Amino acid sequence: MSEQNENKRNEWTAKIFQIGTAECAIFFGGVAMVLALLFLALGFWQTVLVALLMAIGFFIGGVKDKKAWIADKINKIFPPKQSVPYHTDNVELQRAVKAATESQPEMVSEVPAEEKPTEE
């Protein structure tokens, strides 16, 4: 009996975030109603404070390795200078990119001199 209830609960929670389902409409309607009641009861800035504190609580409780998560987000915004912006398993390509970034040869382009017409 409990396995059957667990399957129903898992099915319902999967439908909560599936846009277009009745479960999704009920869930987000309830969230909007709670948010509206908070705006009316507390005001805008107090509601923003409550939402911010809830987000911090979710972060503390939900993220296992906080330093790595924060470092990952910072590196996405400000990537390190020596990092390659893509990942590949091709070893030859990795060597070529590494060689190109370590020693960048001077780009010398020889432009042929324009031929002047001879006047005779």
CA angle 108, 112, 113 (to 5 degrees): 125
DSSP-derived 3-state class of residue 82: coil
**CB neighbourhood size of 38 (10 A):** 16
- Give the count of alpha carbons within 13 A of 65, CB side only: 5
Residue 46 is predicted with a pLDDT of 92
Tokens 């399957």 -> residue: 7
Q: What are the boundaries of each domain within the chain?
A: 1-62, 64-102
> How do the pLDDT tens digits run along the chain, 120 residues long?
678 888 888 888 888 888 888 888 888 899 899 999 999 999 999 999 998 999 888 888 888 888 998 888 898 898 877 655 566 677 787 788 778 777 665 544 455 555 555 655
Residue 105 is predicted with a pLDDT of 55
User: What gap in Å lies between CA 45 and CA 49, rounded to an integer?
Assistant: 6
E strand segments, the chain: none
Residue 21 is predicted with a pLDDT of 84
In this prediction the pTM is 0.47
Query: How far is C-alpha 7 from the chain's CA centre?
Result: 31
Per-residue b or e along 95-117, where b marks 16 or more CB atoms closer than 10 Å to that residue's CB: eeeeeeeeeeeeeeeeeeeeeee
